Structure 1
């Protein structure tokens, strides 16, 4: 029997779940199989009012974050291991991660700028020149229009839009997806049908990627040595992080099974019980908990 943390709507026919689903800022709580799960709030639009506000704020903050990412362009990652000479070629003078992120932000916000300008009858941007010119002014101009017309943005109907994806991401797309594969560069340009709900999710993702790049979020997902309980028995589960970079469960890289945070806690407990019943006392087989400080190697 479902229940809600706010009043249940009287008529659900004209409503749908917030597109952020279990990450909704104003969620419904339902009981399924004796467990409490989060569902997106019912809304007549793509997003509930709370999530709409979060998306608008993310759009307004993107130009500033773009500038902060740009400031790291010359900061190449340094290895903590020994220096090994592997090539006589000149080193890459910029951070490739920062360069990729800057281009992704500019490309995505400009593409939505063009669509919003069309439906809102605004002056159309020169998207060809804007996307070639990856600059703060371009990103600021695009985000200014999107933030001022956020309702128009989130109400857009699905239309084909070009996106650049890694070859691994492109491999998961449905058969028949149109695109161009650049194998040597390890990415593909693909046409995807995207609507206003996709626009909101892309804005939040770009905002999070920028925050993560400048060090404002939690560490990246890490390996969890607890073995998968599915028939694959794979021994490398990885953290699943939520939209704020916080622990939200685990996923098996072998079979793709996803564990919620509670299911992972149960798995850790069951694995620990199995090890104790077997009489194993070796330190190497200890199973860390999901809150253990594995980076500093402290439980």
Structure 2
């Protein structure tokens, strides 16, 4: 925030895109200016010294607005920071211009040597604790038909990958990340569906679910988040399975063929709360304006 003051002194809006959910007031006080902060999840454990620092800087909290990508994360934060102003706003954006084309799909299938009549799903991103790779591990062992699994990301678990290589019905296509945008498009284009497997109760925004809508890729997703599951209900391009249930996941993979799921249309992004970039910038500017001092009202001088 102090760097922003020096490098862009005339900026109208200051936004921290990935902020801790703690010490809001202290950040405002030390940064020397009001700001918005995107808080993606509630994960910090505050011990007594941090709580004391937070109380000392509490007078600066009214100059801060927290932006939470989901209502569930906002509810968690409200219990801990009842004085902090908040807004619920999806972090991901979509201008409707990133959907993959049939030509990209053909290039992707050729690049990974995937036959047109065999199912391919992609598993994108690092294997973080909120992802339920143990359920996927068991589900893959239950498959009775060929599956091409495109894995890219960092970090990954090598022993798990070794097990998948030995499975008779799994064809593993591994690219260790991070990867560039063009290669990521190739992965999504080659896949019949994006796979999202999370632990029950994880309610933060899923960038992979948003990618599915942005790139126009069908989605196989666990029902870990009740709000997300409700939003996807009756969507032909999305299929949910029971979180932490390998049998349910294996069945979802089995029934994804021989007829592929339809691709999501342009209405998928609004359904998930995504806005175009210009609308997002306008929202951030208007929200930040609430933190700025109000201009004094000018009254006309009375006539003599």
- TM-score range, shorter-chain basis? under 0.3
Q: Which has the higher contact order (CA 8 A, sep 6+)?
A: 2
Q: Normalising by the residue count of structure 2, what TM-score does the alignment of the two structures yield?
A: 0.22
Q: Normalising by the residue count of structure 1, what TM-score does the alignment of the two structures yield?
A: 0.22
